[in-house]
Structure 1
Amino acid sequence: MNTESFALRHIGPRPEDISEMCKVIGVESLDQLIYETIPDDINLEKKLNLPKALSEYHFASHINDLSQKNQVFKSYIGLGYHEAILPAVIQRNILENPGWYTAYTPYQAEIAQGRLEALLNFQTVVSELTGMEIANASLLDESTSASEAMTLLHAVRDRQQKKNNVIKFFVDENVLPQTLAVLETRSEPLNIELVVGDPGDFDFSEEFFGVLLQYPGKNGLIRDFEAFTQKAIQNNIKVAVAADILSLVKLEAPGDWGADVVVGTTQRFGIPLGYGGPHAAYFATKEEYKRSLPGRIIGVTKDMDGERSLRMALQTREQHIKRDRATSNICTAQVLLAVMAGMYAVYHGPKGLKFIADKVHKNTVKLADTLEKIGYRQENELFFDTIHINADAKKIKTLAEERRVNFYYPNTDAVVISLNETTSDEDLKTIVEIFADVINETSIEVSAIDKDLIADHKLGRQTEFMTHEVFNSYHSETAMMRYIKKLERKDLSLNHSMISLGSCTMKLNAASEMLPLSNPQWGNIHPFVPKEQAKGYREMLTNLEEHLTEITGFAATSLQPNSGAQGEFAGLMTIRAYHQSNNESHRHICLVPSSAHGTNPASAVMAGMKVVVVKANENGNIDVDDLRTKAEKHKDNLAALMVTYPSTHGVFESAIREITQIVHDNGGQVYMDGANMNAQVGLTSPGRIGADVCHLNLHKTFAIPHGGGGPGVGPICVAEQLVPFLPTNPVVEVGGDQGISAISGAPFGSSLVCLISYGYIRMLGEEGLTASTKAAILNTNYVKAKLSKHYKTLYSGERGRAAHEMIIDCRHFTKMYGIEVKDVAKRLIDYGFHAPTVSFPVAGTLMIEPTESENKEELDRFCDAMISIREEVENSSKDDEENILKNAPHTLAMITTDEWTLPYSRKEAAFPLDYLNENKFWPSTRRVDEAYGDRNLMCSCAPVEEYV
């Protein structure tokens, strides 16, 4: 056994298992299986040109050497990014703990109560600090969140505004530059007209439906917006506020002075800078807008026994229901980062947050006072952590960088300094010395003033926050460690058993890929530092871009999109820009197969396109005749086809090259959804099938962990003609020479977690990546074969093979036995497994994707569980109200009650198969009541009696 082979550690089936698995499938070899799965005309013609695979040991050395090329200066740049202190108890027990980072999105609430509670804490903190009624479970970044606020306010215009086509949106000139860029990207295809200016000059014209204010402004000035907001309300103009969350500890909440939406980032609640991400944004609004709120909401409900439970409320997969009518294409959250930020608030509590905010503010007052004493003018009348100094920016920059310090220089005569919780007295002294040296001052002492400018100001916070017990209980490390562990035990993650979710690829997130994330040489780099300070990052990111470009068969890659849905939008926007460059702005028709992910049509609408649905044939594939008819009908206006390959049904459609050619012949471009890219790597590619752009889910194919529902990374890879249109950034030079404006706030999106995908590719190499793809196809077809006598597979390829995922049909269970597919899903919990994807893309089915990382033993356990459940279904009766599946899942409390009146034994309920005797997972709640939670929406911590 080659102990240096990472592929041996990543890929589940042992070499000796493969022949036995092939025998069960009915093929002579793995190569025969691959031949029967993938159409001949799309096979790669040569091997991928990638570096030789590194061992885990040598990768650790390589990535450490790269990190040393980064220069970690003290960065006081601000602009929405601040160095923060991640408490070690949170780093070790959440960030570095697979019990938290390998969990899936909490669609199965009964085995996700820990994450759901942590997210409810997060929502509570956000709601109370912003003064809003409802908050979601996080968004991608502050800039995206601000753009979602704009589109929400556009969507909730009143009838008269819609009739009069009111489309103007006013943006405070003090907004963060990256936020303005994202607003420009999002507004243009929706025909929203941005007007940027000074709020003091705003005329409250009826031509405007909304405004966005920055609080404090990008240069630190805090303005009193209460009168402005009240006047906007009187003129039927809704107000969104982008607010620094730590400042809200000291400032009165925007909700209390009338804001309709408040957005921002929680990065400074203990989350590393990471050269731009991932960080959890926040979005809070009024309850009347809850149906338009983007992303996910965690809500309180009750279970079958009437006990308090949590679940995802309202928005659960709303794109799959609303599709092109969805309020947003974002269906994700930055869950792991939101959990960490929420735990930062739990650990410090309201008193701890006040201490931190007071320290930051008083240090800033000291600095301003000192600089003014030596002759500098400070422009901000009121500030929290950021001062605006009149000074020679060029001279200051030269001296600052010699002292390993970064400031923000908005123009040649200004220096902006943003302090943070890490700033010490020694740091203040260094800053003062830099400014003193420029004017040849010596022996300057930092002011001893202990002054709070905000406390006695009318904007000072009077409202209490975080009064709930959870924020006032866990302030010792012992207590915090145990609280985190208590929540972790409620969740089923990959460290317990296989999570076989179709289209979600819950593969191994190797420890060797994760370890670099804890290295401050990677964690403490501000995204807007000069590129010379980020040479390690730049080299890693450039290499990753080149590797992804090679794997996809394209010409270039942008890493900027920070979720799969953002990648979809970015890909369509590059297509839109390409058509515009050819004087074909009229091309606006987007063909979308009926089986597509729900984000596809939602993204198309956001990109200003009209969706035309293409039918599927009886085999679940794209109906080529219907596609041809619609492509030809719309040939003068055809912009794009969105296609998932292999299909959402888990099939390599043999007509794919014909499909892409039809679109090209009619003037369109082909966008390939990369959700299923893990069935292509090393065997075929988007470029080979004829696509023009694809997004990749790095949190699926390329091993970034799901983190309970985020972080995600959704880079786009493009063909030669689309390279000039790749997204840009207003602060750091990236993207094409005719690039679209920014898709997300940071120039390279979630740079920190790109280290994981880089490690995945470098340690597997070409052979390991190809072997992984083959193993994914092997595992799926093995499960398909083992279950074939018990479940019908809904779709297969022309030679009877599945791709990397398969759909089993449970629809007839309801008619014959009174059992629904959700009953099978909940019963799987009793067997120690997370359910496969339920009722997508076909209602009443389960979509199974075992991934390449699962070994034969785990696959056999899963198949045994599914076969046992099938027997339980057979023994069910429509009239049986006390059915074992209907009662699932069974909790420990239920099993250990004194009385047992059910018609099956406790052993049958909790230990139906022998393997459970040594590895039993107990759900912490019985089946949750979804409808009750939507009827009685409660999305923050509150006394139990208020909602049950």
Structure 2
Amino acid sequence: MTDRSFSDRHIGTSAADRDAMLKAVGFSSLEALMDACMPDLIRSAGPVGLPAAVSEAEAQAELRAIAAQNRPMRSMIGLGYYGTRMPAVIRRNVLENPSWYTAYTPYQAEISQGRLEALLNFQTMVADLTGLSVAGASLLDEASAAAEAMLLARRAAPRGAGEVFVVDSGVLPQTLAVLRTRAEPVGIELVVADCAVEELPEGVFGVLLQYPGADGAVRDWAGVVEAAHAAGARVAVAADLLALSLLVPPGEFGADIAVGSAQRFGMPVGFGGPHAGFMAVRDELRRQLPGRLVGVSRDADGAVALRLALQAREQHIRREKATSNICTAQVLPAVIASSYAVWHGPEGLERIAEGVAGRAARLAASLEAAGVGVVHGSLFDTVVARAPGRADAVVASAAAYGVNLRRVDGDHVAVACDETTSEADLRIVCDAFGVDLVDEAPVAVPARLRRHGGFLTHPVFSQYRSETAMMRYLKRLADADYGLDRGMIPLGSCTMKLNAAAEMEPVSWPELAEVHPLAPESQTAGWRRLIGQLESWLAEVCGYAAVSVQPNAGSQGELAGLLAIRAWQADRGEGGRDVCLIPASAHGTNAASAVLAGMRVVVVACDAAGNIDLEDLEAKVAANADSLAALMVTYPSTHGVYESSIVEVCGRVHDAGGQVYVDGANLNALVGWAKPGRFGADVSHLNLHKTFCIPHGGGGPGVGPVAVAEHLVPYLPSDPMAEEPGRVGPVSQARWGSAGILQIPWMYLRMMGPEGVASATASAVLAANYVAARLRDSFPVLYTGEGGLVAHECVLDLRELTRRSGVTVEDVAKRLIDYGFHAPTMSFPVAGTLMVEPTESEDLAELDRFCAAMIAIRAEIEAVASGAVAVEDSALRRAPHTAAAVTAEAWDRAYSRSEAAWPAGMTSAKYWPPVGRVDNAWGDRNLACTCPPIEAYGAD
């Protein structure tokens, strides 16, 4: 007997399961089902051109050989990326723990209290260190956070303000490159100036400063901030979070916004990412904050409960009026960063920072003692030394002994110290310069720029000093959450599928994780080979000419694709094309991304079946014939259907001079069977955190590569560090974005092979049709394609039930928690519906368990509709039920304790939600976004 293949383990249903499911939906084989579901016009001939599948051991061995081509060296390059030590207790209990990495975005607050608390810790940490009152729950990276700060400053500017944004010349070069990309399409004039000596120009609405600067200097920015405010401008400061444990925080010297990266709080450089960007703002700007914000609220019993706050800012609600296109965050890296702060506490962070600054000061003193000039006397971690005519020789000498330095130019070398810098490293650097290392030197931060007063004063940052205590704290948080390690997460459009351990293990390999993104090419051959293979595989799977993995979220992939279309049309002399057609059913980020790409959104109606209304499309194309830039369309549709008109739709747009962007959010219904680049699309983004198995991590990290046809290849995102910028600039700060997690999709594709990915797609489609068939009599399926079939997800229509009973989709979502499930997607794409996507990874028993729970809930709804119980008194309205509620001495509800906590069909191990239903409205009226006093938790 041979071992089962990896695809057999990835796909949850057995051959016998699939036979039973096929019988239920009326087909004899997966091929027959796909033939009936998928239009012939989009089908690809033959299997995709991936290498034949190999086993887990073989794939890891192959990847090990590739990784061995890297030459990880001690990096003292800096420039936003630093060596750090992830505490073992955090690596073991967070990074390598599926309870953390398989969870979804915490939209269902009652089953997300653990990661919400960790994110609240992150917000508190950032707010304390920056000296500002409100911080978000992480952004994608420092450079894109700076771009968001620029846009926020313009939104907050008074009516009639100018369009000039000033960037100090000391800002990190990758940040400046991303700012250039983001400013031009929305009409912002970017001015680079030495803000320490130059006056601000007329019409300035915002200023960005770096603290410390890219040149290592720690400057006193108070005067510049005062001058900017006098000119009516907002000031953003890009700050080093570790340095802020020693330096005067930006909020104290008047900054309105602070941005940066939490990378050096325990996250390896990972060849560029993923790392948690951050943003903090003054209180009056909190409702302008982009991304996610965790707020403190209360549950139905008045207990403290956490939730995502101000959710009206989410893109699927505000669409083209959204404040940004960001639809995700860097939750797992943010959890690691906040855990790092909890573990070390303020004293530990200060000790680490003092050590970094002390080593840099010793290096500077050693150079100066030997007559080597140091450019800046006030510094934190980076020393820029003068080496007239011999910078290359100094860099080469250090590299010969395993240490990378940064060549600034032919006459200057930069050396960055970090948490991992050793005495031996300093001696190698001194030898390269030909000087002796001095024994000690005072920290080179002037007293006037030293921080005074405490930070991280909340007890959470001082309670967990022993590993036992920290382990138990992280376990308590994990137990409060619901992830794929507990059960199915049937979220439509989100594709919560298996993230196999064999795929995850290489993330921690030091030969990949510890490579600096700016290391010389001679040291990164392994990374380049891995990325090149993955990009070529993704291009093949999707039928495109080329792929860039730089975008570090789906929203950034959308933006990159639209910018490519915009630049291509401009080079053809058609720069006036600026209309983007978007179906009414589209993902909300589509509209927001179009606006950020400088386009005007025109909505195309959908017909009663949820398909693009061809007559309305024709009318909108005709009305915008000379200005049509693109159509953005999701395929299969956001309604979970293979629209048979997609080829015709693409043809009409092309005939009018436009380009077609196919959103890859639903690619899990296409891989191995159809290729967007072959049925009419010009560009797509791909969600590697959906179809290609990068875990959602509680809301990030993700990767959203952009894939393009041949004519758009020159317009892919460019290297942010390139001397000559590409036709389209970078959208992320690292050339390959969140490279540190690309091992996961590489492993997935290598182990699945062409037959495996096709089988996964067909199995996902079968699972969705099986669920639809089993639930159709209880909950109407709103949209179907030919033959009454769906694609990989189905939309259950509760609107008539709500009208009859008063039971809402939220009631059903919360009641599902009592049955041991995460809810499907609520009210998207249609209000009053639930969108279910079971994926290929769930076995038949779990699918049946979910269907049984939904059918039992349908009976509970009918009891309300019949008048047997009032909706306000029903288990539906009062769900979810906590252990505290069902074990309370008093019980005055219209149903029994067992009906509350162990409803019919609840057969899995009991999951107890830590809080009851969260009061969202109260939380927004009483917004609090940092850790509440410990007394607020009562006896807990």
| TM-score w.r.t. length of structure 2 | 0.98
Q: What is the aligned partner in structure 1 of residue 658 from structure 2?
A: 668
Q: 1:120-199 to 2 correspondence within 5 Å?
A: 120-161=120-161, 166-199=162-195
SS in 2 for 1:284: strand
Q: Residue 204 of structure 1 contacts residue 237 of structure 1 at CA under 8 Å; is this kept in 2?
A: no
Q: What do the CA deviations read for 1:781-801 (whole angstroms, capped 9, x no partner)?
A: 010111111110000002211
Alignment match of 2:225 (pick from 229, 242, 248): 229
Q: Residue 553 of structure 1 contacts residue 688 of structure 1 at CA under 8 Å; is this kept in 2?
A: yes
Q: Residue 852 of structure 2 contacts residue 905 of structure 2 at CA under 8 Å; is this kept in 1?
A: no
Distance in 2 between the 1:739 and 1:234 partners? 37
Q: Residue 938 of structure 1 contacts residue 947 of structure 1 at CA under 8 Å; is this kept in 2?
A: no
Specify every segment of 5 or more residues in structure 2 that has no aligned partner in the other structure, as ranges. Answer: none
Distance in 1 between the 2:422 and 2:498 partners? 41
Distance in 1 between the 2:112 and 2:910 partners? 16
Q: Residue 403 of structure 2 contacts residue 425 of structure 2 at CA under 8 Å; is this kept in 1?
A: no
Q: What is the aligned partner in structure 1 of residue 110 from structure 2?
A: 110
Q: What is the aligned partner in structure 2 of residue 352 from structure 1?
A: 348
Q: What is the aligned partner in structure 1 of residue 670 from structure 2?
A: 680
Q: 1:325-724 to 2 correspondence within 5 Å?
A: 325-391=321-387, 392-436=390-434, 444=436, 446-454=437-445, 457-724=447-714
SS in 1 for 2:160: helix
Distance in 2 between the 1:225 and 1:609 partners? 37
Q: What do the CA deviations read for 1:207-227 (whole angstroms, capped 9, x no partner)?
A: 111110011110101110001
Report runs of 4+ in structure 1 exceeding 4 Å deviation.
944-948
Shift of 1:813: 2.2
Please say which of residues 372-381 and 255-264 is displaced more in the overlay: 372-381
Whichever residue aligns with residue 892 of structure 1, its letter is A
2:927 counterpart of 1:898:
no
Q: What is the aligned partner in structure 2 of residue 835 from structure 1?
A: 823
Shift of 1:317: 6.0
SS in 2 for 1:340: helix
Q: 1:842-857 to 2 correspondence within 5 Å?
A: 842-857=830-845
Q: Residue 317 of structure 1 contacts residue 331 of structure 1 at CA under 8 Å; is this kept in 2?
A: no
SS in 1 for 2:876: coil
SS in 1 for 2:449: coil
2:858 counterpart of 1:870:
yes
Shift of 1:844: 0.5
SS in 2 for 1:45: coil
Shift of 1:131: 0.6
Distance in 1 between the 2:820 and 2:679 partners? 39
Distance in 1 between the 2:95 and 2:383 partners? 33
2:800 counterpart of 1:812:
yes
Q: Residue 360 of structure 1 contacts residue 385 of structure 1 at CA under 8 Å; is this kept in 2?
A: yes
Q: Residue 482 of structure 2 contacts residue 822 of structure 2 at CA under 8 Å; is this kept in 1?
A: yes
Whichever residue aligns with residue 590 of structure 1, its letter is C
Distance in 2 between the 1:685 and 1:791 partners? 32
Q: What is the aligned partner in structure 1 of residue 744 from structure 2?
A: 756
Distance in 2 between the 1:338 and 1:463 partners? 25
Q: What is the aligned partner in structure 2 of residue 38 from structure 1?
A: 38
Structure 2 vs 1, CA of residues 733 and 623 (structure 1 numbering), >3 Å: closer, same or farther?
farther
Shift of 1:375: 2.2
Shift of 1:62: 1.1
Q: 1:738-757 to 2 correspondence within 5 Å?
A: 738-757=726-745
SS in 2 for 1:672: strand
Q: Residue 794 of structure 1 contacts residue 807 of structure 1 at CA under 8 Å; is this kept in 2?
A: yes
Distance in 1 between the 2:804 and 2:113 partners? 33
Q: Residue 4 of structure 1 contacts residue 55 of structure 1 at CA under 8 Å; is this kept in 2?
A: no
Distance in 2 between the 1:9 and 1:602 partners? 38
Q: What do the CA deviations read for 1:103-133 (whole angstroms, capped 9, x no partner)?
A: 0000000000000000000000000100111
Q: What do the CA deviations read for 1:298-328 (whole angstroms, capped 9, x no partner)?
A: 0000000000000000036621111101110
Please say which of residues 370-379 and 584-593 is displaced more in the overlay: 370-379
Specify every segment of 5 or more residues in structure 1 that has no aligned partner in the other structure, as ranges. Answer: none
Shift of 1:2: 4.1
Distance in 2 between the 1:706 and 1:769 partners? 20
Q: What is the aligned partner in structure 2 of residue 264 from structure 1?
A: 260
SS in 2 for 1:201: coil
Distance in 1 between the 2:596 and 2:678 partners? 28
Q: Residue 294 of structure 1 contacts residue 331 of structure 1 at CA under 8 Å; is this kept in 2?
A: no
Shift of 1:729: 1.6
Q: What do the CA deviations read for 1:259-294 (whole angstroms, capped 9, x no partner)?
A: 011000000000011000000000001121122211
Shift of 1:429: 1.2
- The alignment yields a C-alpha RMSD, in angstroms, of 1.4
Distance in 1 between the 2:8 and 2:271 partners? 32
Distance in 2 between the 1:800 and 1:814 partners? 24
Percent of residue pairs identical: 52
Whichever residue aligns with residue 693 of structure 2, its letter is A
Shift of 1:771: 0.3
2:779 counterpart of 1:791:
yes
Distance in 2 between the 1:138 and 1:485 partners? 22
Distance in 2 between the 1:915 and 1:902 partners? 20
Whichever residue aligns with residue 8 of structure 1, its letter is D
2:874 counterpart of 1:886:
no
2:770 counterpart of 1:782:
yes
Q: What do the CA deviations read for 1:917-947 (whole angstroms, capped 9, x no partner)?
A: x511000000000001100110001316689
Shift of 1:727: 0.9
Distance in 1 between the 2:283 and 2:98 partners? 35
Q: Residue 936 of structure 1 contacts residue 947 of structure 1 at CA under 8 Å; is this kept in 2?
A: no
SS in 1 for 2:428: helix
Distance in 2 between the 1:186 and 1:720 partners? 24
Q: Residue 548 of structure 2 contacts residue 716 of structure 2 at CA under 8 Å; is this kept in 1?
A: yes
Q: Residue 528 of structure 1 contacts residue 732 of structure 1 at CA under 8 Å; is this kept in 2?
A: no
Shift of 1:730: 3.3
Q: What do the CA deviations read for 1:856-913 (whole angstroms, capped 9, x no partner)?
A: 1100000000000000100114844211100100001111111222121111111113
Between Structure 1 and Structure 2, how many residues are aligned?
A: 933
Whichever residue aligns with residue 3 of structure 1, its letter is D
Q: Residue 135 of structure 2 contacts residue 280 of structure 2 at CA under 8 Å; is this kept in 1?
A: yes
Q: Residue 399 of structure 2 contacts residue 405 of structure 2 at CA under 8 Å; is this kept in 1?
A: no
Distance in 2 between the 1:430 and 1:400 partners? 6
Q: Residue 107 of structure 1 contacts residue 316 of structure 1 at CA under 8 Å; is this kept in 2?
A: no
